[in-house]
A and B are shown apart, each in its own frame.
Chain A
Amino acid sequence: MSSNQFQFNQYSFTTAENENLVRCLKEKTKKPVIGYLCCFAPPEIIAAAGAIPYRITGRPGRDTSAADAYVEPYGCTYVRSILARAAEGELDFLDGLVISHSCDMVQRLYGIWTYYHPLDFSYLFNVPHQLTPWARDFFTRELGFFREKVEHFTGQQISFRQLQETISLYNKNRSLIREIYKLRKHDRPPVEASEVFEILMAGGVLPPEEYTGFLKSALQDLKQREAAKEKAPRIMIWGSIMDSPVLYKIIEEAGGKVVCDDTCIGFRTWEKDVPSTDDPYDGLTEHYFINFQCPRTDRGPGVERFNYLLERAREYKIDGVVGYIISFCDPHKFDYPDLRDYLKEAGLPMVLIDDNYSFEPAEAIKTRLEAFIEML
């Protein structure tokens, strides 16, 4: 841990802490909590309808045997973890659930979860894989159906104006997060990746207005910090969902400095604003369907689809890329050989950590990363 680590008021934003917090929020506001997985169904719609959007996370490294009663052992360990949590009643604070058809496993989690543990509200947000004009239209229509269902559940209609205001709140938070990321472009960034991770995790639970205040104070605090004492090899992380700071900490211990990422709780969610459009659903489509960088969406063949990563690597003066893929995560596993070769051609080395969502054996992972970082 760095000595000048940022203190997040009284909170720490890990999965367990977030869940305590959302229980308190629910009690205080009497609003229903709608959990969501993946980044296609906009939390803006949930918030605008008067519910609390809550980003569901797993529990890496913990036993998932409760999932065995419903699903096979071969399958995304992150999804198994979520299902085990639902089965054990750990997510009983959820009043509703929206799961996007992001990857196969997440989509199928929806059916099993709602069949065995039905909730008061549930919705599978269907998302095409191709970025064709008709797929785009489908996504926009899907937003409309989702809005209707959420409105019906909360009893609160969402006007264009309300939605636009909520989008503005979220956009404000996006711009503050980008400000925090900018600090990491410094040669000796004043903030550790594990700290940034907790700041981002807070976005999965705090209502947008409160998150704004939180981000402002975090930014102010971080700006006043002194730069890190020493330079370290600069790392970018690419890959599957990471809802725990463990890998960031291992890299820090191995002597590297993670200064940016391409992960879904990370920069993928915050790198761009929802565009301001006359019809807010057009802006949401642009942001959540067209712009959201998940390899489950088909951006055509060719390595050009990775250009944004190289641009980011240059912007953050990256020395090496750590790929992190959870077992059975097909979309990322397919892209790995192409991405590895593409980065190599650009002079950027890459190491792959293939993990079963446990970050174990930690020592072995650390040793590999030490060797990689030393090479940089």
Chain B
Amino acid sequence: MSQSEMSRARRHLETTKKMKEMLPRFFMRMMERKFSNEPVAWCMVGIPPELLKAFDLLFEWPENFGTMCASRQVAPHFIEVAENDGYSPELCSYVTNTMGYCKLYRERGEAPEESPLPGGMGNPAMLLGSGFVCEPRWKWFQSIATRFFDIPIYCTDPLAPPWDIDPHDPRIEEHYLTLLREDLAGQIEFLEKQTGKKLDLDHLREIMERSHEALAYWRDTLALRKAIPSPMGSTDYFHAIIPQMYLVGDKDAVEFYREMYEEVKDRVERNIGVVEDEKYRLIWFGLPPWFNMGIFNYLESLGAVVAYESTYNVGDHFEVDLSDPLEAIVRRTWQRALKMHEYGSETMPELCNPAVFGGFSGSSLLEELVNEYSLTGALMHLTRSCRAVSFGEVHTRNRLANMNVPSLIFESDMADPRFWSDAQIKTRLHAFLETMDKARQGREIDEL
């Protein structure tokens, strides 16, 4: 692998830059608790983060650890350790990154010093997995608990109706809601047993109120990106997920998303764009190449801004009655399923969970986005080791083509830079932007 010249990303918003001050404070607090031997749960997106907070549980996100290892260029090392252990290079690179970390942890009896943060992810006392998004996610934790750490595990398994089933049929609704409710009850039973604490519903409600308040600011921030020029790009977007993952339900998180909203609103009012001379407005599909987030700045240097992304949404905001916070968790998951159904979810019906994801490939939501965000093209990152999220990109390209929106599908990975080819990808991006120019010229001639 050759070091890419584009690996470092530049953010545009003061708010996201301030994360550099806010997060170390949080991680220091976490580290102090870890060093006093408080148990740490390794968790997966799809577990309601508010629940973890309500149990005052120390938690880590191995997926997020994968993004950190990738951005600090240490993921290839961990991935190779896992591959030497028999894990296929085709498996999710977030997974193989973690497996390499676990193997080294077991061999050395402590967190590998190569980890991006001192102490890495520590070692887990329990695993909270999820089948939401893809099956490698729960297989991953099954393998960790089999091979490296003999610890308790619970995997949540939310399902949603396929695209051709009527979710408004009361029997179908009950069929799925029953599963969601009982699964949530299972999670709580597990957490109560492992922590020795009883869930305090009032505390959970307060956390959810703040969490939803933060998500409402996030929703409004995303809407501001419709402005021309777009006031916020992907380098800020993809990093904005962190506070909601680690500080969910905290006043600090609400404040972060409020400030971000105010800053972006101010930029819109003052007509400040990410790109001075905005020529292309793009939608990004797939996971980003965390080892090379500078790709977005590179695009910006060519006059292209990404105004919308299909993944790593901080979370969708749904109006739900919080008086019964457990039912609210179930209802917001169901609302997400209904929303996806309304738009069409032929490729990924199981993306029903509103927590920290986007996922709408191929759906008719595309038409809304193209019009509202004035999109001129789509970039689709086909991640070799994450088929779950890449799946549907060809279908999405087909649907965008019907709207005369050109797409570029290019191949690489989210955490494994061995699949990145700098010169080739640059050449393809250049050619794609020229395609958009020609498409635009064609449209102008047609209009004449």
Contact = CB atoms under 8 A, between A and B. Distances in A.
Interface of A: 68-75, 101, 103-105, 107-108, 110-112, 114-115, 122, 124, 126, 128-130, 132-135, 137-138, 141-142, 145, 295-296, 298, 300-303, 325, 327-328, 330-331, 333-338, 340, 354
Contact of B179 (A103, A135, A331): A135
Contact of B347 (A111, A126, A338): A111
B182 A129 contact: no
A5 to B, nearest CB: 36
B147 A334 contact: no
B391 A75 contact: yes
Contacts of A129: 131, 135, 138, 155, 157
A370 B136 CA distance: 33
B140 A334 contact: yes
Contacts of A296: 135
Given A74-B382, A101-B159, A130-B155, A145 B146 contact: no
A301 B154 CA distance: 10
A112 B135 contact: no
Interface string B80-102: 00000111101110000000000
A129 B183 CA distance: 12
B387 A68 contact: no
A338 B391 contact: no
A111 B162 contact: yes
Interface string B389-400: 011111100100
B371 interface: no
A113 B130 CA distance: 27
Interface string B166-190: 0000011001001100110010000
A354 B165 CA distance: 37
Contacts of A75: 387, 391
A145 to B, nearest CB: 7
A295 B144 CA distance: 15
Interface string B25-45: 000000000000000000000
Contact of A334 (B142, B162, B388, B395): B142
Interface string B88-119: 10111000000000000000000000000000
Contacts of A122: 164
A337 B145 contact: no
A128 B390 contact: no
Given A108-B391, A128-B159, A138 B90 contact: no
B139 interface: yes
B157 A115 contact: no
A92 B359 CA distance: 32
Contacts of A301: 141-146, 150, 153
A241 to B, nearest CB: 16
Contacts of A335: 139
20 contacts: A68-B394, A69-B398, A72-B382, A75-B391, A103-B135, A111-B347, A126-B159, A130-B138, A133-B182, A134-B178, A134-B179, A141-B175, A145-B171, A298-B157, A302-B145, A330-B91, A330-B135, A335-B139, A337-B143, A354-B88
Contacts of B145: 301-302
Contacts of A327: 90
A161 B77 CA distance: 60
B394 A72 contact: yes
B390 A74 contact: yes
Interface residues of B, number: 58
Contact of B346 (A112, A138, A142, A295): A112
Contacts of A354: 88
A325 B159 CA distance: 27
A72 B388 CA distance: 11
Contacts of B182: 132-134, 137
A74 B155 contact: no
Given A73-B382, A301-B146, 15 more contacts: A69-B394, A71-B391, A71-B394, A74-B390, A105-B387, A128-B157, A129-B155, A130-B131, A132-B183, A133-B182, A134-B182, A135-B157, A330-B90, A334-B143, A338-B146
B390 A72 contact: yes
B130 to A, nearest CB: 10
A303 B146 CA distance: 7
B213 interface: no
A11 to B, nearest CB: 35
B125 interface: no
A333 B157 contact: no
Nearest to A139: B179
A340 B147 CA distance: 12
Contacts of A135: 157, 179
A131 to B, nearest CB: 10
A333 B90 contact: yes
Contacts of B134: 104, 330
Nearest to B385: A74
Given A138-B179, A330-B91, A333-B91, A126 B162 contact: yes
A339 B144 CA distance: 14
Q: Find the residue from A107, A111, A133 having the highest chain B CB count within 10 A.
A: A111
A138 B349 contact: no
Closest 5 pairs (CB-CB, A-B): A301-B145, A111-B346, A134-B182, A337-B86, A124-B162
B350 interface: yes
B61 interface: no
Contacts of B411: 74
Contacts of B348: 108, 111
A74 B144 CA distance: 25
Nearest to A304: B146
A331 B88 CA distance: 11
B410 to A, nearest CB: 12
B85 A114 contact: no
B138 A72 contact: no
B161 interface: yes
B85 A337 contact: yes
Nearest to B183: A134
B159 A108 contact: no
Given A130-B131, A330-B139, A331-B135, A104 B391 contact: yes
Q: Find the residue from B92, B136, B141 having the highest chain A CB count within 10 A.
A: B136
B178 A114 contact: no
A68 B395 CA distance: 10
A300 B143 CA distance: 9
B219 interface: no
B384 interface: yes
B163 interface: yes
A40 to B, nearest CB: 13
Contacts of A130: 131, 138, 155, 157
Nearest to A103: B135
Nearest to B135: A104
B186 A107 contact: no
B142 to A, nearest CB: 5
Given A72-B393, A138-B179, A112 B347 contact: yes
